[in-house]
Amino acid sequence: MKRPLLTTLLLSLLATGARAADNVPATPASGIDTQYIDANVRPQDDFFTYLNGKWLKTVDIPADRSSWGTFYQLRENTQAQLRDIAEADRKNLHAKAGSDERKVGDLYASFMDDKRRETLGYKPLSAELQRIRVLKDRKGVPALIAHLNRIGVATPYTISIGQDAKESTRYAVYVRQGGLGMPDRDYYLKADDAKLAATKATYQQHVAKTLALAGDKDVEAKAAAIVAFETALAQAQWTKVELRDPNKNYNKVELAALPALTPGYDLKAGLAEAGVASRVDYAIVGQPSYLQAFDKIVADADLDTLKAYFQWQLLRAYSPYLSKAFVNEDFDFYGRTLTGAAEIRAPWKIAVSTVEESLGEALGREYVAQHFPPERKARMEALVQNLLAAYRDSIGHLDWMGEDTKKQALDKLAKFSPKIGYPNKWRDYSRLAIKRDDLVGNVMRAQGFEYQRNVDKLGKPIDREEWSMTPQTVNAYYNSRMNGIVFPAAILQPPFFNMAADDAVNYGAIGAVIGHEIGHGFDDKGSQSDGDGNLRNWWTEQDLARFKAKTDMLVNQYGAFEPLPGYHVNGELTLGENIGDNAGLEIAHKAYLISLHGQPAPVIDGLTGDQRFYLGFAQVWRNKSRDAQQIVLIKTDPHSPGQFRANGTLRNQPAFYEAFGVKPGDKMYLPPDQRVSIW
């Protein structure tokens, strides 16, 4: 068996690109990393800072990052492993033409060929820029959007394929709002927020500079018009909170009825150009009022502004693959201004990400063969079954839920399908052409390949073996249409999952992650779908009202957190994740108790089992972000910042109070009637 990866920081090693070395001490059997404990902070007052205080004070965010912490270290370690794979493939010129290894090596090589990129400048985009330049009138816009959407360029609306939310056994076409160059509509609209307003002004300069690099004229005026156009789109767009309502975002429209929705804009022609209109009778429109507004915005915009906007979005999407001037200008806004990073990531890191995005499962197959011992899968399968059993037990004993709803909830739970490590069936890339000397073409073809792969699903049975994350991703997800939970290989490492450690830390870390993902099936959004993946209310009115009362308390608790002066956590945007954390940790603790079979837990490193359980949970959330990035996250990320994922979750857990002797007057203390326990 391979050694598990390390729980300790490897900043200096990572900075030189070196990998986890063998001369690092073995992980302690408790699995708790105590070196950063700040003895000046009481765990009863601020558990997160108690455990991580010295780290918060002494460790700087690396210059090329906007956030740093345990999650990010693990991602960085994984990236280095992926680099070795891609480098080996690049050098292996004997790999069969058309094989996955050859494609990985060729794509990586095409990215790293900076000489060629300098010579080409923005020439690889000439044909696409020309396609936009010759746009004669607004009638051409639907076809242009269909094309740009296919090659991964942001467009005012997106066309994508997914399971029909109310008929999950068939694939459907979705049309949703899109097309902004900044992370959220607030960046366009909140003129009273000085930071956001300054970012908007810098964005406009960035648009002008990028257009100038591509040889455009009159760029200042064009940039102003583009930002005004995007601001109009932003004005009409739904907020991120509104986008979380699955029923409001489900609007089935027969293709024949589309002209009534956007009388001036031929959306139906757009869907025909996108290659989907002949395959379906209806589309699911996410935000009808937005499309109606878009109809008018396009009609009012002058043709030159539309062209400039589409050219800008094309350049924005492909700048990372052009010459240095574009790469640096792109970093200047999206890295430096928007997230506060000081340095651009090393080219190999972006190259690895590019291979990851285009040939993710080809890279993943090699990653799994080298870095995922089968023992991890077996132990993880047992953990998942224990968590499901604990949920079953817990739902059966809920005091706030009636029998009818319980029956439905248990039915949903019984239909959960877990996936661990890597897919049973790997993606077939044989129809994707990769050329060693054509980076932009490679990325464009990869985008087109992925788009077509999805369009080809229309009319076919649901592919239940498909994964939405690659195995080398340090993350996990719940898919409500599949009612499935997925744990990629790369998250099954310390500090999430430690093969060398006692159970307590594993239940507190990966156990809480499993509980969190199952919890998404029963969060404010997931609970609106049933076990077959259909959006359908299975709640009695009374039980739904009780559930809502509990989740409203979480909205208020998290809304009070203020990670930056003047910027509060959005309690509604983060509600689903906070429910996941709340339920995940409580159920993981139940599962841990079940695993002890009535025996007392051993004391290790002077820590009781319950103490290790909660410390294991909190060390996963050790992270920090630069201020600019923190604002991006507050506006866009449905997850609360790490410190509140730790403290905000812990203070609702009854057993936490006992484990650390939390008493009235302590800052972590909540009176019992204010604690939230849902599942």
| Interacting residues toward Zn ion by CB under 5 A | 577, 580
- Beta pairing class for 167-177 and 282-285: parallel
Report the C-alpha gap between 85 and 299 in whole angstroms: 50
Please name which of 199, 198, 219 lies closest in space to residue 210, comparing C-alpha atoms: 219
Closer residue to Zn ion in complex, CB, 503/577: 577
CA distances from 490 to 33, 357, 381 (A): 20, 16, 15
Closer residue to Zn ion in complex, CB, 320/418: 418
Minimum CB distance to Zn ion, residue 593 (Å): 24
Report the C-alpha gap between 429 and 675 in whole angstroms: 50
Minimum CB distance to Zn ion, residue 441 (Å): 36
Closer residue to Zn ion in complex, CB, 356/577: 577
Check: CB of residue 350 under 8 Å from CB of residue 326.
Answer: no
- Beta pairing class for 417-421 and 167-177: unpaired
Q: Tell me phi and psi for residue 634, to 5 degrees.
A: -60, -35
Closer residue to Zn ion in complex, CB, 229/497: 497
- Beta pairing class for 251-254 and 282-285: antiparallel
Report the C-alpha gap between 268 and 283 in whole angstroms: 10
Report the C-alpha gap between 468 and 456 in whole angstroms: 17
Beta-carbon count within 10 A of 67 CB: 21
Return the CA Rg of the chain: 25
Closer residue to Zn ion in complex, CB, 37/486: 486
* Beta strand extents in 357-425 (DSSP E only): 417-421
Report the C-alpha gap between 566 and 551 in whole angstroms: 24
Check: CB of residue 544 under 8 Å from CB of residue 622.
Answer: no
Closer residue to Zn ion in complex, CB, 574/625: 574
Minimum CB distance to Zn ion, residue 469 (Å): 12
Q: What six digits make up the tokens of 621?
A: 């959330």
Q: Which residue has the tokens 């010129």?
A: 93
Closer residue to Zn ion in complex, CB, 508/580: 580
Please name which of 511, 495, 491, 359 lies closest in space to residue 420, comparing C-alpha atoms: 491
Check: CB of residue 481 under 8 Å from CB of residue 163.
Answer: yes
Report the C-alpha gap between 132 and 311 in whole angstroms: 7
Closer residue to Zn ion in complex, CB, 475/608: 475
Q: Where are the alpha helices (DSSP H) in 437-539?
A: 439-455, 503-506, 512-520
Q: How far is the first Cα of the chain from the last one, in angstroms, to the nearest whole number?
A: 37
CA distances from 597 to 23, 77, 383, 601 (A): 37, 36, 15, 10
Closer residue to Zn ion in complex, CB, 83/520: 520
Report the C-alpha gap between 398 and 483 in whole angstroms: 22
Closer residue to Zn ion in complex, CB, 322/513: 513
Minimum CB distance to Zn ion, residue 520 (Å): 6
Closer residue to Zn ion in complex, CB, 101/637: 637
- Beta pairing class for 484-488 and 67-69: unpaired
Please name which of 476, 502, 498 lies closest in space to residue 375, comparing C-alpha atoms: 498
Closer residue to Zn ion in complex, CB, 270/580: 580
